[in-house]
Structure 1
Amino acid sequence: MNETLIAQLNTYGSLKEPCFFMISYDLKSFDVQPLKNLPPSIQFQISETYCERLEPLIELHKKPITFEQYKQKFDALQEHIKAGNSYLLNLTTATNIMCNESLQTIYEKAHAKFKLKYKEKFVCFSPERFVKIHNNQISTYPMKGTIDANIPNAKERILNNVKEMAEHTMVVDLLRNDLSIVAKKVRVKKFRYIDKIKAGKKELLQVSSKITGELPLNWQDNLGEIIVKLLPAGSITGTPKRKTIEILESIEGYERGYYTGIFGIFDGENLDSAVMIRFIEKNQDGEVVYKSGGGITCDSDAFSEYQELMDKIYIPT
C-alpha cells in the first residue's frame, strides 16, 4: 500500500481542498495536485451523459498482434481457469497504431463521459466510471460486456448470453465485496443496464451495473485509504483479484502503466473518478500504441474475444 499516496489524498480530503488525482494500475505511479495549481499540460473533462456530436471520424491504422499470438495468451489463461486459480481475467494488450492527429487533437475531438490528456504522454476517453461519492454515498459502476449494436437483436443477445451474464455477475460480486471494505449497507441498485456508445464507424452496446454503499460523515479525512483499498479496479482485473493480477502480469507481456488505472476529481465535498480505458499512449521513441482488452471466462471463445479487443480500438467522435 502506497503510504505517500494515501497521505497526500488524506491531506487534501481533510482540508476540503479540491484536487486532481491519477493512479497507475499497479499503484506504483501517481500524480496528485490541487486543482488551483493544475498545469495546462493536464486537461480533463467529466460529464454525466453522452450527447450527439458531429465530429469527423479520426482514422486509425491498426497493427495488432496476430490471432495466433492472442490465442497463446488466451489458452494460458484457460489453463489457469481449469486449475481453479481464477474465474475471470481481463486480458489486455498494446496495439501499435498510426494516426495523423496529435494527442491534443484526439483529446479535443474524442467524445466520452471521462476524458484526460496527460502532458504529451497519453490521452484516454473512458466510458467507465470508477467510483462516485456524493452526500456520503459511494457508488461504483462496473462495465462488463460489449457487442456491436448493428447485430440483429444485439441487446437481447448480450443480455441473454450465458457467458456474458456469468462474467458480469462475477464482476458485480467482486465490486460489491470491494465496496464492503470501505462502506456499509452495500447493495446492487441497478443490474445489467445498457449504454450505447459510438466507436469510430461502429456503435457498441455496453453492459453496466450500479452498486452503492454508505460512508461515514467524515469520509474525506480518509480519502486516501478509501481509494487505495478499492484498487486496482475489479472490472479490469478479475476474480479472485490478487491471484488474477499475478497471472495477468506473467502472461500479458507488457507494462500496463497508467492504462486501467484511475483518474478523478475531489471538489472539496464530493468525488468523481473513471477507469482509464480507451487509452492511447506515446512512448519515448514516438511510437503510438492503443491499449485494450476484455474479460475471459471458461465459456469465452478466443476469436470472439480477439474481435472484441479489436473493436475497442477506436476514437469516439
Structure 2
Amino acid sequence: MLKINEQKFLEMDELSLQKVPFFFVIDFLMENVLIFSQEDLEAQKILVDFPNFKNVQPFTFETKGVTWKSFPQSKEDYQKGFEIVQNHLKLGDSYLINYTCETLIETNLSLEEIFYQSEAKYKVLLPENFTFFSPETFVEIKNQEIFTHPMKGTIEASVPNAIDELKNSVKEKAEHYTVVDLLRNDLSMVADWVKLDEFQRIDFLKTRNKNLYAMSSEISGKVKPEFQNKIGRLMKTLLPAGSILGAPKPKTLEIILEAETYERGFYTGVCGYFDGENLDSCVMIRFIQQNGENLTFRSGGGITHLSKLADEYQEMKNKIYVPIH
C-alpha cells in the first residue's frame, strides 16, 4: 500500500490554483515530495536545466581526462530478480515489468561536474544527494493541452540496420506498444479527447562509451476541468509513471518491490516546473545517487515474457553511462 504524501500534493494544488511558479521533485513511491520556489532553489544550490527553465550559470572546470568505472552485479545475482519477474509474467500477474538495478561506479568527476558536463534534455542536481540527465518527458501542459512521451526500447547504434532492428524487434515492439497503451489509458483519467500523435519516433543518444537509439511516442489530450490548474491532483493520479513501472500498475508495483534488492528513492520518480500557467516534467532516469563517499548508478529495462536474460542484463549495463562527449 502506497504511503502517499497527501499534504504535499494539496500544497501543489494550492500553488498552481494561485498560479504561483514552483519546482517539484516526487519520489518513485510518492512518499517524498519536495516543493521549491526559485528562491529555495538558489538558497539550497539546487541546479535545474530544463528546456524552458534554467537556473544554471556558465561554469568552467579544469580540463581533465574522465575516468569512469562501473561494477555491475554478476549475471547470477541479476538472474535472481529476473526469474522472480519472469515467474510473475508466466502466471499472468503482469505483462510488462520494469526491472532495475543499482551499480557502484567510480569516477574522478563530482556530481556537480557530471551535471554541468553532461548533455540531456532534462538535468537536475541536488547537492550531495543525486544528479540525473534524463531524455524522457513525463507530461507537458500547454494551454490546458496535455502531452506525454513514453520512451521504451533501446538498441546500440553500432548494430547493423539498428533503427530497423529496433522498430521491428518483436520484443521491443511488444514493450513499446504496451507502454503506449498504458499511458494512453493513464492520460484518459485526467484528459478528454486523448489521441496518439506520433508513434515509434527514434531518438539518438550520444554517450562517451556507447551510442544508443531509443524509441518514443507522443500522446495528447485536453485536461479535464476538474484537473485544470491542479498540478498535485493530476500528478497523484498519473503516478507512478507507467514507462518505468509496467502494467497493470498496482500488481506490477508489488512485483518490483519483491524483485529489486534496493530502494529506488527518487530514481524513476518525476520532477517538473510549473511556470504559473504551463507545466513541463520528466521521468528521473539516467540517475546517479550519492551515499557518503559512494556513487551508484541506477538502470534497467522493461521485461516481457519474450525477454532473454543475457539481453536484459546487457541492456542494464549499457545504460550505465554519462553523456559527456
| TM-score class, shorter | over 0.9
User: How many residues end up aligned between the 2 structures?
Assistant: 310
How many Å separate the matches in 2 of 1:82 and 1:310? 25
Q: Can you list the C-alpha shifts for 1:23-70, whole angstroms capped at 9, x where unaligned? A: 00000111112224323521011128xxxxxx9874320111001111
How many Å separate the matches in 2 of 1:56 and 1:245? 42
Q: Name the counterpart of 2:318.
A: 311
From 4, 19, 23, give the equivalent of 2:22. 19
Q: Is the 1:10–1:220 contact (alpha carbons within 8 Å) kept by the matching residues of 2?
A: no
Q: Name the counterpart of 2:308.
A: 301
Letter in 1 for 2:302: G
1:272 aligned to 2:290? no
How far does residue 177 in structure 1 lie from its aligned partner after superposition?
A: 0.7
From 90, 111, 123, give the equivalent of 1:103. 111
Q: Can you list the C-alpha shifts for 1:126-169, whole angstroms capped at 9, x where unaligned? A: 01000000011100000000000111100000101111111100
How many Å separate the matches in 2 of 1:219 and 1:76? 38
From 12, 36, 50, give the equivalent of 1:46. 50
Q: Is the 2:146–2:222 contact (alpha carbons within 8 Å) kept by the matching residues of 1?
A: yes
From 256, 261, 266, give the equivalent of 1:253. 261
Q: Alignment partner of 2:229: what SS?
A: helix
Q: Name the counterpart of 1:51.
A: none
From 180, 184, 197, give the equivalent of 1:172. 180
Q: Name the counterpart of 2:148.
A: 140
Q: Name the counterpart of 1:289.
A: 296
Q: Alignment partner of 2:230: what SS?
A: helix
Q: Name the counterpart of 1:159.
A: 167
Letter in 2 for 1:215: V
Q: Which runs of 5+ in 1 are unaligned?
A: 49-54
Q: Is the 1:24–1:260 contact (alpha carbons within 8 Å) kept by the matching residues of 2?
A: yes
Letter in 2 for 1:71: Q
How far does residue 11 in structure 1 lie from its aligned partner after superposition?
A: 1.1
From 190, 201, 204, give the equivalent of 1:193. 201
Q: Name the counterpart of 1:9.
A: 12
Q: Alignment partner of 1:199: what SS?
A: coil
Q: Alignment partner of 2:211: what SS?
A: strand
How many Å separate the matches in 2 of 1:220 and 1:56? 48
TM-score for the superposition, normalised by structure 1: 0.95
Q: 1:298 to 1:220 in 2, by over 3 A?
A: same
How many Å separate the matches in 2 of 1:217 and 1:241? 25
Q: Is the 2:205–2:213 contact (alpha carbons within 8 Å) kept by the matching residues of 1?
A: yes
Q: Can you list the C-alpha shifts for 1:87-133, whole angstroms capped at 9, x where unaligned? A: 00000010001011111111000100000001211000001000000
Q: Which runs of 5+ in 2 are unaligned?
A: 53-62
Q: Alignment partner of 2:20: what SS?
A: coil
Identity in percent = 45
Q: Can you list the C-alpha shifts for 1:272-308, whole angstroms capped at 9, x where unaligned? A: 011000000111x321100001000000111111111
1:83-98 to 2 correspondences below 5 Å? 83-98=91-106
From 124, 131, 136, give the equivalent of 1:128. 136
Q: Is the 1:155–1:205 contact (alpha carbons within 8 Å) kept by the matching residues of 2?
A: yes
How many Å separate the matches in 1 of 2:225 and 2:77? 50
How many Å separate the matches in 2 of 1:100 and 1:108? 14
How many Å separate the matches in 1 of 2:219 and 2:153? 17
Q: Name the counterpart of 2:235.
A: 227
Q: Is the 2:111–2:127 contact (alpha carbons within 8 Å) kept by the matching residues of 1?
A: no
Q: Name the counterpart of 2:70.
A: 62
Letter in 2 for 1:235: S
Q: Is the 2:190–2:224 contact (alpha carbons within 8 Å) kept by the matching residues of 1?
A: no
Q: Is the 1:58–1:200 contact (alpha carbons within 8 Å) kept by the matching residues of 2?
A: no
Q: 1:219 to 1:82 in 2, by over 3 A?
A: closer
Q: Can you list the C-alpha shifts for 1:241-276, whole angstroms capped at 9, x where unaligned? A: 010000110110110000000111000010001100
How far does residue 2 in structure 1 lie from its aligned partner after superposition?
A: 2.7
